[in-house]
Chains A and B, each alone.
Chain A
Amino acid sequence: MNSQPEPLSTRRDFFARTSDGVMGAALTHLFCQDFFGGTAALANDAPHAPQQFDLKPKQPHHPPKATSVIQLFMNGGPSQMDLFDPKPVLNKMDGKPYPGNIEDLGNSNTTSIGEMLGGQYKFARHGESGMWMADILPETAKMADELCLINSMWTDHPNHDNALYKIHSGRLFMGYPTLGSWTVYGLGTENQNLPAYVVLTDPLGAPKNGTRNWTSGFLPPTYQGTRLRPTGSPILNLKPQYDQPSAVTESARKLLNQLDSIHREKRPHYPLLDARIESYSLAARMQMSATEALDLSSESKHTLTDYGIGEQETDSYGKRCLLARRLVERGVRFVQIFLEEQPWDSHADLAANHRAMCQRTDKPVAGLLRDLKQRGLLDSTLVIWGGEFGRTPTTQKSANGFSGRDHNMQAFTSWMAGGGIKGGTTYGVTDEFGHSVVENPVSVHDFHATILHQLGLHHQELYYTRSGLEERLTGVNPPRVVKEILS
């Protein structure tokens, strides 16, 4: 059974999207000449050989609305009732005991549950749509009419580890491919000179669960996310980790090219040898492309300011948001931005913590949305904001008493924007405490199916055969594409 996506039947110019600068075309020519004596190997229209997997563009299942995704992942689980889903009844009950069975609340541990905690910030309506948002998100609020809030997300596990596996891979356990991996497995990528699936981590450290947040699981490693390193060379081994005169490098490359040509000529009918030579040429081109893509110096001062770059609080996150735009602009299929560890996880001091988190991210996120829109990229770029679960209406005991909220898998808010999503929408309803969903529930599988749908992929047709089993991102029971939020 050939479980691999069909490659595109038409030739694609991989460089269409990079040749807008001086760089693209000329360099492409240079390197291809250098390595192939021509560009033949760039457009390989042959289907996948068995066990050979690549990132060449593949035909989607249906016409896509979005061609790229930027996922702003809010690790730790932001609080829905404090940011997007106001709960007047909860506010009134502040300080009172939870009226239901406390075993039904958040995490499995019942001993440290405190009392009801009202929303910590002021809410107001924003935009023409009148979308509710807390006053600690002043910049995002300005973009309200681009957003679709999904207040009815729910997941299956109250632990970070498992909920993270779930939100990224659709499964509660390690070893399964993530949404980004499935996407590039299904669609390949437009720009062969850059990684298809890029992960931007925080200079302060890796997120909880580390590389498992962007693993390709049982899919070939080609489809795993490439972490752009916050310090040093942005892509692992992108530049030589040793000093050598460039003339020496050139001479060595020439020799390698000649030796490999001799090797290949003596061994006809082995396409994998072409693939290997191609991989060296791609590596060389990637060195140029990535350096160019990651260089923010050509951005206008206005743009930098809009992302909050240069301001202490927002500089780091702003740079990553701007990088995300630059990557998407250059044809990268899937970009994820992570924060260090799990900074939204506010078991203690929620009011101060969420305020600080918003100060770090609000302006850059709004800047990204505005910039994408101005450049006409928002239509084809799906922006996703959210964490792995939400928070409880009650407080929880921690080192400094009762000042934060526990994990809540039964309801949380994520939002989407662009990429064919209906802006100004608020979807789904939670109960009067924001504790669980009462209308239009969206499971993680539904969420994934909807994202795939916008990318032109059908969740059922996107599968990989492993040990005789067809594996899918969205599991066995058919999920629901949330059509109501599509424009």
Chain B
Amino acid sequence: MACPHRLLWDEQHLRSSPHLPALPMMLIRTIIPLLVVVFVPGLARTIHAAEKPLQFEADIQPVLAAKCGKCHSDKVRKGGLDLSTISGVHRGGESGESAIAEKVDDSMLWILIDGGDMPPEGQLQLTDAERTLIHNWIATGAKSAQPHQPEEKQITQHDVLPIVLLRCTACHGARLQRGGLDMRTPASMLKGGKQGPAFVAGKPDESRMIKRIESHACPPQEQLLQFFVKRPPKSEVDTLREWIAANAPVVDPEPEVVGLQPDPLVTEEDRQHWAFQPPQKQPEIKSIDQLIHKELQAHKLEFSPEASRDTLIRRVYLDLTGIPPTLAEWKQWRNSEDPDWYASMVDHLLASPRYGERWGRYWLDLARYADSEGGVSSDPLRAVAWKYRDYVIRAFNKDKPYDRFLQEQIAGDELTDYENAPVITEEMVENLVATGFLRMGIDQTGSRTMNFVPERLGVVYDAINVMGSSVMGLTLECARCHSHKYDPLPHRDYYRFKAIFQGALDEYDWLSFKNRSVELGTPEQKSRVKQTNPLLKKELAKLEKQHKKAIAAQQIAMLRQFYPDQPAEEQQETLQALKIADNTRTQRQRILVEKLRIAETMPESDFSDEVQQALQNVSSIEKQMSEVQQQMEPPLTIRALWDRGEPSPTYILLRGEHDQPGRQVGPGVPSVLTDGRTPFTVKPPFPEGTPKTGRRLALAQWLTQDNHPLTARVMVNRIWYHHFGNGLVKSLENFGVKGERPSHPELLDWLAVKFMEQDWSIKEMHRLMLNSRTYKQTSHITPAIQEHDPQNQLLSHMPLRRMNAEALRDSILSVSGKLDPTPGGPPDSVTVDRDGLVSANMTGKGGWRRSVYLQYRRTQIPTMLDTFDYPEMGPNCVSRTVSTVSPQSLMLLNNERVHTLSHDFASRVRDLLPDDQKQNQGAQVDLVYQLALSRSPSKQERQLGQATLQELETLWKETPEAALETYCHTILNSAAFLYID
């Protein structure tokens, strides 16, 4: 069961926005109770019948005890909530919000009941009458016999600081101190600026900050959008006043972190869930096969026979590298007499640079890699995101130990003090590039209007989400608004976790779009850039000028052709209008531009010579520009994440709302994954050097401890999933209480322990899995298998699988000899035609590089990949869906490029055949099968191929050689090509 209660922050945004239609919201709140009156049977009656008001002890407590008491009593306080007494109800849950508010619809108790969240599914439910009763009780003032004395809560600076951070510190904080004023602490407020202290204790009316805020001098109207600040609502100003009036009390409790006492919110029982226990050594286990076989036998099954050698070759090649073997490779392995040929083949492929391109891509899915920002319609490019892509591919190829891989990505900036280093080393550069992991998500905060705190929090939550689902196998997201309904993840733990990232991702001290990258390079890199780039840049600037001119010339040419009577002034006016944003053009300007647009949509064949010439001129300049760009040294810019040493305090956000702060928390990891008593130790990594909090470093170290319950399990499960088609735990991203149980728990633990013992080597895991008998089974489903293991939970066979989008595209390119193997560097550009078709541009070498090197703009996914289920990266993709739909067939059948590639394929076949065999149809068929399918055709397939080639030659009449092209095209369309046995 999933968490149905996901408060997305557009809802919060709405509530806090000054543009909020206040009236409608009020109306909504009054409408709902009215509706309840109408639609809940018995409610109206109850209201009239209630002669004396409902009372907690007599009317409500018994219901709560019966239906909620199992988890929320004085003994068991899930989420910190005790519903057994009226004080407990008022105290509310662990986030610090009372369960009862003035209005029914603002009351947590009613919200959770009304939304169907509580009691949770599977538990005894409230009856309609009971729900009505609770609703009425709150509506009539939540009376109790035992008068409830609200606990006097003393106001402190922690009620004020969150407001100040949200509204003031953009101009009076770490980066800027307007008027010499820093508002970040009570002391600095009191110290004040040039005009004196910000407040006078005890005298709100005389306090400058109150006066400035209430007169709207602060925040200044014309700068609200410049600093992405909104005015504090009256309730917040009242809080500021109250605090000053109370003499500005300052109490300094330490931010709440793990203490030595047992955790009241997470019980020992909670910690017993299998996935929260460290993986156990399994000394009696010697191999994967031993366990799989045992389970099979228990179900009266045996291993399926070993697949044929050809099948294994194709399977392992596509699995590890995503492209089929070359003809020579295929021959080498199929003819090898070495008894260990298979293990050698696995080793050979693991050593191939193609391996990292295949397996790195899986990790990029998890990191939600893209070459653009997303979020806004302009979808700006992320010029150097590719450095992170190359880092990942390199890491897989080098078999970087997974623990180190995680440490670099999570805390690369805290591993070496690059800011304080005499010489920048390659390692420092690499570590910083790795931190791009946490910067890969959709990020609209670069927009002129989308950089308010809720939008920034969206970026932070996205990063946390990726940590949870990709690395930890936990759905942390649920705990953002309230304690997790199923997993023992208190609301508190989400914000402790958030505090870990506060040093680098601080919503109150946000790095702008432009300055969230650093310029860092080794001395060699620096000198190369210095030598090469300045000249090229000049050249590029020149070309850009020419380009602009050429486009204008082309537009004029079009106007001239299609509107020959248009006066020259009007043509110039059109060009001027193009420079104005489309929505501020006058109607006349709009009409002029529209005329040009109509001309542009004319079929190309209608264009006059002059227009054709102008178009050619534009594209030739563009070609020159891209050539110059290719000669440039990569810039030193790194899109990185780094700790800035002075994090704002972190407050729990009630219901996840950015302007509803609760108590302050310190950094920490989910309590249930620890013993709840061992503090999360954070040490600044460079005490003598650059100040950094060391929080993410502590997280990375904690995650990669040998006894961590999740890290190794989650990763080996993923590797297993890619090899065997299913995870041992099917819910790859959720090992929590509501995730799937492992099908082979001992095997999962054995693999996890082995993974860590073998130095977190991913390649060793591949060896272990690929060399197993389990992996070598055929994909054939016998009636016995169909009866006893149709879902393949017992691994009674290998599943037949479709190639994913990249493997398909790369394989077609490879088979047709058009795969340019050049690795790394800036992504290859794509072209979007006027119908929205996105296709990759050819490289200088007359081919195309692997799909992982294509420019992946979130709004311009290459159409071929998109058609075959390439994911949209919003936020990340933990497992891809596989669809089988007709646009895929239409693409392979009718697409011009696929067709051209089958021509290339056919030419290759002809080239490879010896002269005396070139016209031999049997030989042609054989070679087509060997190249495309890594096997020889069956007798039936050969006959069919020969007969069809014969027929096609007749049908093609004057161009009989086209027969082979049509045949190749058909093979690339066939199920045998698309599916892997």
Residues in A lying within 8 Å of B, measured CB to CB: 1, 3, 50-53, 55, 76, 103-104, 106-111, 152, 154, 156-162, 164, 166, 171-176, 203-206, 208-212, 215, 217-218, 220-222, 226-227, 229-232, 235-242, 244-245, 247-248, 251-252, 254-256, 258-260, 262-264, 267-270, 272-273, 275-280, 282-283, 286-287, 340-343, 345-349, 352-353, 356, 398-400, 403-404, 409-411, 436-441, 443, 463, 465-471, 475-478, 480
9 A-B residue contacts at CB 8 Å?
A156-B10, A156-B17, A173-B10, A174-B442, A235-B887, A240-B894, A343-B590, A356-B587, A440-B27
Kindly provide the distance from the CB of A471 to the nearest chain B CB, expressed in whole angstroms.
8
Does A467 contact B869, Cβ atoms closer than 8 Å? Answer: no
Interface residue count on the B side (C-beta < 8 Å): 128
> Which residue of chain B is the closest to A465 with respect to CB atoms?
B2
Does B733 contact A468, Cβ atoms closer than 8 Å? Answer: yes
Does A283 contact B889, Cβ atoms closer than 8 Å? Answer: yes
Does B738 contact A283, Cβ atoms closer than 8 Å? Answer: no
Q: Which residues on the A side are within 8 Å of B664 (C-beta)?
A: none
Does A469 contact B475, Cβ atoms closer than 8 Å? Answer: yes
Kindly provide the distance from the CB of B581 to the nearest chain A CB, expressed in whole angstroms.
8
Q: Identify which of B469, B583, B882, B890 contacts A76 (C-beta below 8 A).
A: B583
Q: Which residues on the A side are within 8 Å of B976 (C-beta)?
A: 259, 263
Q: Which residues on the A side are within 8 Å of B888 (C-beta)?
A: 279
Does A353 contact B590, Cβ atoms closer than 8 Å? Answer: yes
Let me know if B231 is at the binding interface, CB within 8 A. Answer: yes
Q: Mark B309-353, 1 if CB is under 8 A from A, else 0.
A: 000000000000000000000000000000000000000000000
Does B21 contact A260, Cβ atoms closer than 8 Å? Answer: no
Kindly provide the distance from the CB of A316 to the nearest chain B CB, expressed in whole angstroms.
10
> Which residue of chain A is the closest to B878 with respect to CB atoms?
A467
Let me know if B800 is at the binding interface, CB within 8 A. Answer: yes
Does B2 contact A255, Cβ atoms closer than 8 Å? Answer: no
Q: Which residues on the B side are within 8 Å of A410 (C-beta)?
A: 19, 21
> Which residue of chain B is the closest to A256 with respect to CB atoms?
B970
Does B859 contact A476, Cβ atoms closer than 8 Å? Answer: no
* Complex interface: stretch among B149-157, B425-433, B633-641, B830-838: B830-838
Separation of A482 and B174 alpha carbons in the complex (Å) = 49
Kindly provide the distance from the CB of A441 to the nearest chain B CB, expressed in whole angstroms.
3
Q: Which residues on the B side are within 8 Å of A162 (C-beta)?
A: 450
Does B940 contact A108, Cβ atoms closer than 8 Å? Answer: no
Separation of A231 and B27 alpha carbons in the complex (Å) = 48
Q: Which residues on the A side are within 8 Å of B785 (C-beta)?
A: 269
Does A478 contact B115, Cβ atoms closer than 8 Å? Answer: yes
> Which residue of chain A is the closest to B900 with respect to CB atoms?
A242
A-B contact number at CB 8 A: 345
Separation of A350 and B11 alpha carbons in the complex (Å) = 32
Extra contacts, 14 of them, besides A221-B881, A352-B587, A476-B7 (Cβ < 8 A), are A203-B598, A210-B859, A231-B834, A252-B952, A347-B584, A349-B590, A436-B24, A441-B23, A468-B2, A468-B3, A469-B477, A475-B10, A476-B6, A477-B11
Q: Identify which of A110, A159, A260, A264 contacts B221 (C-beta below 8 A).
A: A110
Kindly provide the distance from the CB of A150 to the nearest chain B CB, expressed in whole angstroms.
13
Does A270 contact B781, Cβ atoms closer than 8 Å? Answer: yes
Q: Identify which of B14, B18, B948 contacts A104 (C-beta below 8 A).
A: B18
Q: Identify which of A215, A237, A467 contacts B469 (C-beta below 8 A).
A: A467
Q: Which residues on the B side are within 8 Å of A159 (C-beta)?
A: 447, 449-450
Q: Which residues on the A side are within 8 Å of B490 (C-beta)?
A: none
> Which residue of chain A is the closest to B882 with respect to CB atoms?
A51
Does A264 contact B975, Cβ atoms closer than 8 Å? Answer: yes
Q: Interface of chain A, helix or strand or loop or mixed?
A: loop
Q: Taking A53-B881, A248-B956 as contacts, is the C-beta distance between A276 and B975 under 8 angstroms?
A: yes
Does A239 contact B975, Cβ atoms closer than 8 Å? Answer: no
Does A468 contact B890, Cβ atoms closer than 8 Å? Answer: no
Does A218 contact B872, Cβ atoms closer than 8 Å? Answer: yes
Let me know if B843 is at the binding interface, CB within 8 A. Answer: no
Q: Which residues on the B side are within 8 Å of A164 (C-beta)?
A: 377
Q: Identify which of B5, B837, B883 contacts A221 (C-beta below 8 A).
A: B883
> Which residue of chain B is the closest to A261 with respect to CB atoms?
B975
Separation of A223 and B449 alpha carbons in the complex (Å) = 31
Does A475 contact B374, Cβ atoms closer than 8 Å? Answer: no
Q: Mark B368-391, 1 if CB is under 8 A from A, else 0.
A: 000000111100000000000000
Does B736 contact A468, Cβ atoms closer than 8 Å? Answer: yes
Separation of A348 and B4 alpha carbons in the complex (Å) = 44
Kindly provide the distance from the CB of A450 to the nearest chain B CB, expressed in whole angstroms.
15
Separation of A465 and B731 alpha carbons in the complex (Å) = 11
Q: Taking A103-B18, A227-B836 as contacts, is the C-beta distance between A280 and B886 under 8 angstroms?
A: yes
Q: Which residues on the A side are within 8 Å of B458 (C-beta)?
A: 173
Does A231 contact B878, Cβ atoms closer than 8 Å? Answer: no
Q: Which residues on the B side are within 8 Å of A240 (C-beta)?
A: 893-894, 899
> Which residue of chain A is the closest to B801 with respect to CB atoms?
A272
Let me know if B734 is at the binding interface, CB within 8 A. Answer: yes
Instruction: Enumerate B852-905 residues with CB–CB distance to A below 8 Å.
Output: 858-859, 863, 866-867, 869, 872-875, 878, 881-891, 893-896, 899-900
Separation of A51 and B726 alpha carbons in the complex (Å) = 11
Does A468 contact B475, Cβ atoms closer than 8 Å? Answer: yes
Q: Identify which of A154, A277, A476 contacts B11 (C-beta below 8 A).
A: A476
Q: Which residues on the A side are within 8 Å of B23 (C-beta)?
A: 436-438, 441
Q: Identify which of A241, A267, A353, A436 contacts B894 (C-beta below 8 A).
A: A241
> Which residue of chain B is the closest to A352 with respect to CB atoms?
B587
Does B837 contact A236, Cβ atoms closer than 8 Å? Answer: yes
> Which residue of chain A is the closest to B594 with respect to CB atoms?
A204
> Which residue of chain A is the closest to B876 with respect to CB atoms?
A467
Separation of A277 and B594 alpha carbons in the complex (Å) = 45
- Which 5 residue pairs are nearest across A and B when measured between Cβ atoms? A175-B874, A441-B24, A352-B587, A241-B896, A468-B475
Separation of A439 and B27 alpha carbons in the complex (Å) = 8
Q: Mark B772-814, 1 if CB is under 8 A from A, else 0.
A: 0000000111000110001100000000101000000000000
Q: Which residues on the B side are within 8 Å of A53 (C-beta)?
A: 881, 883
Does A258 contact B944, Cβ atoms closer than 8 Å? Answer: yes
Instruction: Enumerate B8-58 residues with CB–CB distance to A below 8 Å.
Output: 8, 10-11, 13-14, 17-19, 21, 23-24, 27-28, 31, 35
Let me know if B951 is at the binding interface, CB within 8 A. Answer: yes
Let me know if B978 is at the binding interface, CB within 8 A. Answer: yes
Kindly provide the distance from the CB of A106 to the nearest chain B CB, expressed in whole angstroms.
8
Q: Which residues on the B side are within 8 Å of A1 (C-beta)?
A: 1-2
Does B790 contact A269, Cβ atoms closer than 8 Å? Answer: yes
Does B978 contact A276, Cβ atoms closer than 8 Å? Answer: yes
Q: Taking A1-B1, A156-B14, A267-B780 as contacts, is the C-beta distance between A173 and B375 under 8 angstroms?
A: yes
Q: Taking A174-B858, A469-B6 as contacts, is the C-beta distance between A282 and B886 under 8 angstroms?
A: yes
Q: Mark B668-712, 1 if CB is under 8 A from A, else 0.
A: 000000000000000000000000000000000000000000000
Instruction: Enumerate B257-302 residues with CB–CB distance to A below 8 Å.
Output: none
Q: Taking A161-B376, A174-B374 as contacts, is the C-beta distance between A237 and B895 under 8 angstroms?
A: yes
Does A203 contact B601, Cβ atoms closer than 8 Å? Answer: yes
Q: Which residues on the A side are within 8 Å of B974 (C-beta)?
A: 256, 259-260, 263
> Which residue of chain A is the closest to B888 with respect to CB atoms?
A279
Separation of A403 and B941 alpha carbons in the complex (Å) = 73
Does A166 contact B884, Cβ atoms closer than 8 Å? Answer: no
Separation of A447 and B17 alpha carbons in the complex (Å) = 21
Kindly provide the distance from the CB of A250 to the nearest chain B CB, expressed in whole angstroms.
9
Let me know if B422 is at the binding interface, CB within 8 A. Answer: no
Q: Identify which of A109, A259, A272 contacts B884 (C-beta below 8 A).
A: A272
Does B24 contact A215, Cβ atoms closer than 8 Å? Answer: no
Kindly provide the distance from the CB of A26 to the nearest chain B CB, expressed in whole angstroms.
20
Does A212 contact B859, Cβ atoms closer than 8 Å? Answer: yes
Separation of A436 and B869 alpha carbons in the complex (Å) = 42
Does A286 contact B886, Cβ atoms closer than 8 Å? Answer: yes
Kindly provide the distance from the CB of B237 to the nearest chain A CB, expressed in whole angstroms.
15
Does A103 contact B231, Cβ atoms closer than 8 Å? Answer: yes
> Which residue of chain B is the closest to A173 with respect to CB atoms?
B375
> Which residue of chain A is the closest to B115 with respect to CB atoms?
A478
Kindly provide the distance from the CB of A226 to the nearest chain B CB, expressed in whole angstroms.
7
Q: Identify which of A259, A286, A399, A463 contacts B944 (C-beta below 8 A).
A: A259
Does B582 contact A342, Cβ atoms closer than 8 Å? Answer: yes
Q: Identify which of B10, B584, B738 contacts A166 (C-beta below 8 A).
A: B10
Q: Identify which of A231, A277, A468 contacts B601 (C-beta below 8 A).
A: A231
